[in-house]
Amino acid sequence: MTHKRFKAHSWLAVLALGLLTPSLTRAQSLGASFWDGFDSNTFNTSIWKASSGKNGEPFGCTFYPYMVTNGTGGNLALTLKNGSCSQIETYAQYLYGTLQTRLVYSNIPGTVASLFTYNSWYTVAGDPWTEIDIEFLPSKPDMLHTNVIYQPSASGAYQQFEKYISLSSYNINPVNAAVQVGFDWSATQISWFIYDSGGTKHYIRTITNSSATGCDCIPSYAWPSQGANIYANYWHGDNSNSNSVNYFPLTYSGASGTASYDFVQYIHP
């Protein structure tokens, strides 16, 4: 996000239940490189659609297309208020390459602003659930949450490979200041990166396709090796376990806010 669906602090797993319609085969071709700079203050409708639906616990809001609003200055505004939140998702699926964005989000504890890849049996029949995450949480303002999720089927064993990365050593404070972040994804490794205020790129975590122990590794059977849709969303938790220090994303107060995305870019390898 532990993030097993229906465990604290799992949330994107439930996404499959509410937002995605199964397809019948993997016949869909993979998408090419794209850049959406949101220059008209909205998203490119040939790349994205606005999501709708409710995911269930621990999401405390329903995704509504009208909550994806026109930004200003060439930005896309994903908004939230108590009970309502926003998300965009690509029509195409993508496999390997570089995914990155630049965003700024409101300093509201209990919310999550993200960019991630997601696929499962809900999107392509017979596929495992695989996901690669970038998530910002104002409740943990000096942290970037990174994660890879795998589940072979709806009844199969759930695994996640999460790590919180401290940004203070890079002199980055992403709360109420724009930050550029992304990851490189290949058949052998996933490397998350972030740019500091001076424009220097820092690789902050690399996870490797390996069955070795004592390393930041994922066994090959769990590696995200099939196409996935790209998502950006902004949502708040339901406070279902707000007294737990381990709950993700901690207590939400009911405030309204915005996550503004300057661009999203995917570069085919």
Mean pLDDT computed over every residue of the chain = 89
Mean pLDDT of 160-179: 90
The reported pTM is 0.90
| The pair of three-digit structure tokens given for residue 250, joined into one six-digit string | 């901690």
Output the pLDDT for position 248.
82
Does residue 46 form part of some domain? Answer: yes
Query: What CATH number corresponds to the domain at position 124?
Result: 2.60.120.200
**Measured distance CA(16)–CA(129) in Å, rounded:** 9
Does residue 175 form part of some domain? Answer: yes
3-state secondary structure of 217: strand
Does residue 217 form part of some domain? Answer: no
Name which residue leads in pLDDT, 23 or 198: 198
The pLDDT tens digits for 108-158 are 999 999 999 999 998 889 999 999 999 999 999 899 999 999 999 999 999
Mean pLDDT of 63-92: 97
Q: What percent of the chain has pLDDT over 90?
A: 77
Does residue 148 form part of some domain? Answer: yes
Does residue 89 form part of some domain? Answer: yes
Output the pLDDT for position 242.
61
pLDDT band at 19 (very low <50, low <70, confident <90, very high): very low
User: Over 50: is that where the pLDDT of 65 sits?
Assistant: yes
User: Over 50: is that where the pLDDT of 4 sits?
Assistant: no
Does residue 7 form part of some domain? Answer: no
Mean pLDDT of 99-105: 97
**Measured distance CA(204)–CA(222) in Å, rounded:** 22
Output the pLDDT for position 245.
60
**Measured distance CA(143)–CA(181) in Å, rounded:** 12
Mean pLDDT of 189-215: 96
Does residue 213 form part of some domain? Answer: no
Looking at the structure of the chain, the number of domains it has is: 1
**Measured distance CA(174)–CA(42) in Å, rounded:** 23
**Measured distance CA(39)–CA(73) in Å, rounded:** 7
* CA distances (Å), origin 172, targets 36, 99, 130, 236: 25, 20, 29, 23
pLDDT band at 13 (very low <50, low <70, confident <90, very high): very low
Domain that holds residue 34: 12-22+30-182+223-267
Does residue 54 form part of some domain? Answer: yes
